[in-house]
Amino acid sequence: MKPKAGGDGKYPVDRTSAVSGEKLMRTIMADNKLELYGTYGKVMNCGGGGSCGTCIVEVVEGKELLNERTNTEVKYLKKKPESWRLACQTIVGNKENSGKVVIQRLPQWKK
């Protein structure tokens, strides 16, 4: 199911915080009950193994606070925009930095 805009035409924004360098983006979202997957991905995701591609997010802000693309991502996201990441491969922070990361879930659904 496609994300739905609210009555004002804007999409809802969820916020949470995490300790730098401690967790994968996928884990942070799951721990905080933030939706990551679309309908198919909810049921059919690979559990964070980097093989299904259902956890793609677009990094809108804070790219410098994330780890480099892993080899799995380099392979999987070869033809995708630079700003796209697999949430299950993305470590948020490196213990020495802090700041804000903004992502858009399901960027492949954007028109």
Longest dimension (CA), the chain: 41
Which amino acid, 73? E
Is residue 54 a contact point for ligand FES (CB under 6 A)? yes
Quick check: 104 and 87 in contact, CB under 8 A?
no
Among residues 21 and 53, whose Cβ is nearest to ligand FES?
A: 53
- Which of 3-11, 42-50, 59-67, 101-109 is the region at the interface with ligand FES (rule: CB under 6 A)? 42-50
Residue 6 CB, shortest distance to ligand FES, in Å, is: 28
Residue 85 CB, shortest distance to ligand FES, in Å, is: 10
Is residue 90 a contact point for ligand FES (CB under 6 A)? no
Measure Cα distances from 94 to 8, 21, 67, 77 in Å: 37, 4, 7, 22
